[in-house]
Each structure stands twice: as structure tokens, then as C-alpha cells.
Amino acid sequence: MAYITLLSDFGLQDTSVAIAKGILMQQVPSATIIDITHEVQPFNKRQAAYLLSAAYRNFPEGTIHLAIIDIFSTKNPLLVLSACAGQYFMGTDNGLIPTALGDEQMESWQCLQLGKPQSFHDWLRQAGEIIDKLQTSTPQVLGFPPINLQHTAEKKGSEGGIIDCDVIHIDTFGNVVLNCNRKHIAEASASGGQFSLRFIQYEEIKEISANYTDVREGFKLCRFNSNGYLEISINNGNAANLFGLKVGSKHNNVQITFR
């Protein structure tokens, strides 16, 4: 049985998700299809990469993760396949998959290139055909040529004990996830100094908490979430709403310093 996860920015207001599942079910009738989420901010590959990175480690070997994000960013979209940690990742060559996998060892192949006037339905249909073949074969046997996927550089300075951060995700509880993980903090703090997280203009947090209850109810804190990323939170509150923090906003002004 194939396990297929879906990640997209389709939202849930129309039939796009149902169409995607219907096409895949026709091509891989035995598949179990699991939604990661379809609420990615439109075209936000960095948020999509974070969510894929957070999810894929919890699935069994052989799972195929299909990322349907910004497929038509080029005139003739590619369908690419990557293998990592016993799982497969499918999408287009837009930097999402390498960003999600980070430093993990991966192999990648080009499966096809769409011509005109093909649609995302055609892309999905052919993705389904390939997924079906992968149940009994390998990318090498199928003759897919290797490809070096493009990487999206993370524009986040960490020189001199300073990290400029962006908001990459906000969860249901209003916890604000930053593009800063344990590794970034360890590197920036190597020279010593007092931790300080500043955001908006005047808000400041001076330590990293282990749990929400390390501060009183209604007070702000920052902590590493279960995916190892730093988040700004309120104990029993909504940090995003309280501080007006938004995904991708240029007015968040989030900076971490060690001085």
C-alpha cells in the first residue's frame, strides 16, 4: 500500500484539493492519501518547506510526499523526485524540497517537463503514474536522469552574535514560528553574551523558556517548539494577534542578539 502526503496552498474554499485527490486515486487506487496541510500562504515556499520538514519524519519508510506549491513558476514546469531517509519527495524545482530536507543526504531525479498547454491536472496525473510505478521499481530502473535541485538561500544574517529573523508560520494557537532553530542559536551564542529577542519595536524577551508555564498566564515567552524552531508565544494567549505579527510581513522587525 502506498502512503501519499499532500501539501499545497490551495486552501479549502474550492474543489482543488478534491480534484488533486481524485486524480491521484485514479492513478494509484491502493494509496492512502494524508493531508499535511492546504493552508500554506499562497506561493510561500519557505512556510511550505518548514511544514514539510516538521511532518515527514513521522511517516514510515516508502511514504511519498507530494508538494503542490508554485508549480507554474516557470514556463515549462519540471516534476522532480528526491529520495531521503527512506522516503520520496515530489514537487517542482523551486527550492522547496532541498530547504525542507536541510542538511540531510538526498538524491534527486528529473521525472518530466511539462509542455504547453498542459495544466496542473496533467502534472498531477503524471505524478500519480510515477508514484504507482515506484511501488514496484526505483528511479534508477525507471531511467530518470539525476538532477541537482536549486537551493533557496536563507537570507538571515548571524554575524557578530546577531540573527535577523522572519516569521515563517503561525499555528492555530497564535504561536509565531521564526526561521531560527537550535543550530542557529548555538552558532550565534558561541562567542557568549546575553540573549535578547526583540520584535515589533519595543518588545523584548531575555531568555529561552522550556515550557509555556515558565512564565505567568498572559505573559510572553520564547521557546523551541517540537520541531526545534524558536517561537514567540503567550502563556494561554495568542502572540500573533496581541503583537500583530504576520507571516512574511516586513514590519515584524524580529532580531536576536547575544551581547
The tens digit of pLDDT for each residue in 23-33 reads: 999 999 989 99
- pTM confidence score: 0.91
Domain with CATH 2.40.30.90 in the chain: 159-258
Cell for 59? 511517516
Q: Could you confirm whether domain 159-258 is CATH 3.40.30.10?
A: no
- pLDDT tens per residue across span 57-95: 999 999 999 999 988 877 778 899 999 999 999 999 999
pLDDT at 107: 95
Check whether 157 has a pLDDT greater than 60.
no
Q: Compute the mean pLDDT over every residue in the chain, rounded to the nearest whole number.
A: 91
Check whether 155 has a pLDDT greater than 70.
no
Quote the longest CA-to-CA distance of the chain.
59
CATH topology assigned to domain 3-133: Rossmann fold (3.40.50)
Domain with CATH 3.40.50.10790 in the chain: 3-133
Residue 169 near residue 41, CB atoms below 8 Å: no
pLDDT at 125: 93
Residue 56 near residue 32, CB atoms below 8 Å: no
Cis (ω within 30 of 0) for the bond into 42?
no
Which comes out higher in pLDDT, residue 209 or 123? Answer: 209
In 3-state terms, what secondary structure has residue 153?
Answer: coil
Check whether 41 has a pLDDT greater than 70.
yes
194 - beta bridge partners? none
Residue 100 near residue 69, CB atoms below 8 Å: no
Burial class of residue 86 (count of CB atoms within 10 Å of its CB; 0-12, 13-18, 19+): exposed
Rounded distance between C-alpha atoms, residue 34 and residue 36, angstroms: 6
